[in-house]
Structure 1
Amino acid sequence: MNVLILGGTQFIGRHTVEAALAAGHRVSVFNRGQSPDELPAEIERLRGDRDQGKSGLTALMGRQWDACVDVSGYLPQQVRASAELLSGQVGRYVYISSRAVYAEPCPLPITEQSALQAPAAEDITEINGETYGPLKVACEQIVQALYPDACTILRPQIVVGPHDANPRYPYWAVRAARGGVMLAPGDGSDHLQVADVRDVSRFVLKVIADGRSGVFNLAGPRLIWADFLRRCGATDVHWVDADTLKQALLDTEELSLYVADTDPQAGRMNVSFDRAIQAGFTLTAPEVTARDTRTWWSRQSVPFTLTPEREVQVLSRLDPT
């Protein structure tokens, strides 16, 4: 197949490119060319800027692809421009949305039938914690209206794995394997749920190959934190009340992965992916995700906010004995 990927150089896009090549497909990527590009040479690179509307999409005009995978559409204006232009030029439009589209709190687990947030207005361009979900809802609706019988909407859980530049997951995979007494939020009984980026990318190609329309939640196994850290290699965990720990580590991004089961946003860690499994979604074992993430992160030069020295200081202050 000929596959067009809007974005393609970072994380989900990069893994999708690699999976498509491994499956023998021809791949074109469309982006501004401003992010580091470590993609194979045989990839066709098309340049433009979705923020400029139709005038920024001239490189896509007059071309045909079997499918488009939109991994970089965060704003309705961006998605409308590309989706309208490519109508009639692509056989299927796969939009990478997010679990954040769901209105919470809500009955759990979250399914594809759970209520959505109200869509954001199409002129909103600021992306933050409050607008991200509503913007994704608006983008979904645009794609569904333009491709009623030829679109697939994927709503991934927190996506993790190699090339994940956000420290919220890599920290735990790396820290647990280092050994020694480690700080962790809660008491070990709250749940964690993430999705391996490679599972997401493989499913993207499967829905294209199968011509499968519809909406799918994508998530991985739901583990309690004690099991998660054990699978990461931890042997001695010092559990600390999450509020106490967050007060001691106000600027620590690593703690953002934790959500208590009693939190109004507990749906972040309780997403049903049964529908995707029935459609061929496959799962990587959590310990493999942790190992491969740790291996990749070991080659990076970006430090964690929660350094070993800071962890020791907090441990001493919270447990002087």
Structure 2
Amino acid sequence: MGKVLILGGTRYFGKRLVNQLLKNGNHQVTVATRGLTKAEFDGPVDHLIMDRNEESSLVEAARSGYWDLVFDNICYSPDEALAATTAFDGYVGKYILTSTLSVYDFGKSPLVESDFDPYVYDLKRGGRSDFSYGEGKRQAEAAFFQKANFPVSAIRIPIVLGPDDYTRRLHFHVERVMQGTPIGISNLEAEMSYITSEEAADFLLWLGGTSLTGPINACSNGSIALGGLLEMIESIVGKKAIVAENSKQEDESPFGVPTSWIMDTAKAQAAGYNFTTLSDWLPHLISQIAEG
């Protein structure tokens, strides 16, 4: 890959990606952040101070050298994406945007990349506060795929799980079952896709070494219903979950989707990537969290 720039790489799968690049060697890795979070990596990393919301700051970072590859983990709006299409024009070989399952509407299952087409989506201007998370990512994809003059891939990932999840979404469920406190879930039969923080980083690394462009789904093989997830937690911790259909906001599950939300990964698999299987790693992760 050569010279690699990572926008937002100080925690979670962004940090894992940095360490994977360092482990593989043959890469000059630069991490660009606001400098608010100190991070230690498994080797030497260059560091740029950059404000993602300031176009001049982004331009300065982009044009500090030619980048063979850019990973953008912190783009959430069309204005940020459009700024990047200008800043990196002529200064990047390939650009990878971290996108999300949230670009897809509920209803169809499983979801394939063509179920949301950013190439024809109505592009609007605006910042992070002007859109919901999902719409912001839809607009960011539209901006890149409609306006960029360089190759772009958008990795669409579901909820990312891991012991290092700073949002503690799976932790929420495990801890509440262990403590005997209510969990608000409206549809226990809704199934979801997931991916680990380790595999999210692995997939990004793999994608950076391919010629694939456009949107591409990435998640572990298999899915699990929310009711099945609670049963798995119950079995591991030895306690019964308390489920409340009508609950206070603070008790609502961060996985509380109204219907199934599952992605199809045939495109990535056809290109040669082999995903892990959800049932192979989820019980172990739950045990890790339960043991503290």
Normalised by the length of structure 2, the TM-score is 0.82
Structure 1 counterpart SS, 2:124 = coil
Alpha carbons of structure 1 residues 16 and 298: separation in structure 2 relative to 1, 3 Å: farther
1:82 corresponds to 2:84: yes
1:262-301 superposed matches below 5 A: 263=258, 266-267=259-260, 269-279=261-271, 280-283=273-276, 285-286=278-279, 288-289=281-282, 291-292=284-285, 295=288
Q: CA RMSD in A?
A: 3.0
Distance 1:58 1:149 in 2: 18
2:19 and 2:43 in contact (8 A); partners too: no
* Letter of the 1:60 counterpart: A
Distance 1:105 1:187, change over 3 A: closer
Contact 1:50–1:82 (CA under 8 A) maintained in structure 2: no
Q: Is the 8 A contact 2:171 2:289 kept in 1?
A: no
What does residue range 175-214 of structure 1 map to in structure 2 within 5 Å? Answer: 178=178, 185=185, 189-214=189-214
**% identical equivalent positions:** 22
CA distance in 1, matches of 2:145, 2:180: 50
In 2, the alpha carbon distance for the partners of 1:115 and 1:6 equals 25
What runs of 5+ residues in structure 2 fail to find an aligned partner? none
1:235-276 deviations in Å (ceiling 9; x for gaps)? 443463x423x2xx43125x12133xxx3xx24x32222222
- Corresponding residue for residue 121 of structure 1: 124
Q: How far did 1:52 drift?
A: 1.5
Residues 258 and 56 of structure 1, relative CA distance in 2, 3 Å threshold: closer
Report the counterpart of residue 34 of structure 1 in structure 2: 36
Question: How many angstroms apart in 1 are the aligned matches of 2:267 and 2:90?
Answer: 29
State the SS of the aligned residue for 1:138.
helix
Shift of 1:186: 6.5
Larger Rg: 1
List alignment gaps of at least 5 residues for structure 1: 300-321
Q: How does 1:40-119 map to 2 (within 5 A)?
A: 40=42, 42-102=44-104, 104-115=105-116
Q: Secondary structure at the match of 2:54?
A: helix
Query: For residues 76 and 175 of structure 2, what CA distance do their matches in structure 1 show?
Result: 30
Deviating runs (4+, > 6 A) in structure 1? 296-299
Query: Quick one: which amino acid aligns to residue 265 of structure 2?
Result: F
Paired positions, count: 283
TM-score (structure 1 length as normaliser): 0.76
| SS of structure 2 residue aligned to 1:169 | helix
